[in-house]
Amino acid sequence: MEGRACVGGHITLIFSIHDDSEFLLEQGSRGAGLALDRGVEIIAHASEGNGILTSTTPSGQKIHQHVLEELSTFIPEVLSFDWTINQTLSLPRSQGFGLSAAGAIACALSMQRALGEPEDISRARSIHIAHRVERQLSGGLGDVSALHAGGVELRLEPGCPPLHGDLGGSGAVVSWFKNIPVVVCWRTSASRHTSSYIDDGQWKLAIRAAGEQVMFGLREGRWDESRWSELLSASASFADLSGLIKDAERTELLHLVGGALISAGLIDSPIAARLCMLGESVIILPTDFSKPLPDDWQTTLVESLIGRGLGASEASVIDDALNLHSLD
């Protein structure tokens, strides 16, 4: 038996840390970000066995094993099979693209699809399970909730949102969608794991204070595309107030991106660069939907970024991040 799932990644632009609750489903973050059409594809193959799981990518073994254990509490017969998990990534790990969350969701979805479980309950279980796994492994605080919402999301309350039946938690998230073309870029060297920030007392205080300050205004009023410029302004303020812009040489990274925009002839275009939290990565996106951009601006910019030794990829904001057709 075999199941497949393709789940998009997520860019966090703003967040505040709320992990004090002893209940994993209540831990999370307030914040805002974007779901992407680049992420993780998993093909799960099941054969009769004793619940042994093998991931073809060693970096995914721990996450996939935790997913199997969590899924077995809902579907005990999942342990009557041995599982081979084939994972494909279209963005790098540990660079602020939410791939651990996407991978956990995709793993849970693909295994349930292999077993022929109904799609609606499988999606709900996958969000529930992925949120717990992320917190067990000190991964992202809000990526799972954000991917559940899709589009341009605003996480109003921390924790997993309520789901099917008694699944989920007390989180709250709203979103709107527009097909927004973006470019993401990253340093090709490894970045610090998310836990080095959210488990560090000083970083936790600085991030929470900055996140709550900039979220105050965003939480007021209707959340729709009219708030786009406000979101971009708030994300820049968050990077500065939290101190994250000065950590890991992120200021230098923004300077490299600025140089790439100049050489691509885009420096005067309605485009802005914003840090992705928490990797050494940047997202470049339109600032004004009413102003046109060159048809090939993404391709031109990607080439310019790669020419400066950075990794880069075209992408776009996606509405349903849990059901991509492919990573192409």
Report pLDDT for 141: 86
pLDDT at 190 over 70: no
Q: Report, as an integer, the average pLDDT of 207-226.
A: 94
User: In terms of Cα–Cα distance, which of 305, 108, 321 is closest to 187?
Assistant: 305
C-alpha distances in Å from residue 165, one per residue of 121, 160, 226, 241: 9, 14, 34, 40
Quick: pLDDT tens for 4-30.
999 999 999 999 999 889 999 999 999
Q: What is the CATH number of domain 1-328?
A: 3.30.230.10
- Please give the Cα distance from 248 to 275 (Å, whole number): 12
Contact 33, 146 (CB under 8 A): yes
How much is the pTM? Answer: 0.95
Encoded amino acid at 50, one letter: N
As a whole-number percent, the residues of the chain with pLDDT over 90 amount to: 85
Domain locations in the chain as residue ranges: 1-328
C-alpha span between 122 and 116 (Å, rounded): 10
262-271 pLDDT tens trace: 999 999 999 9
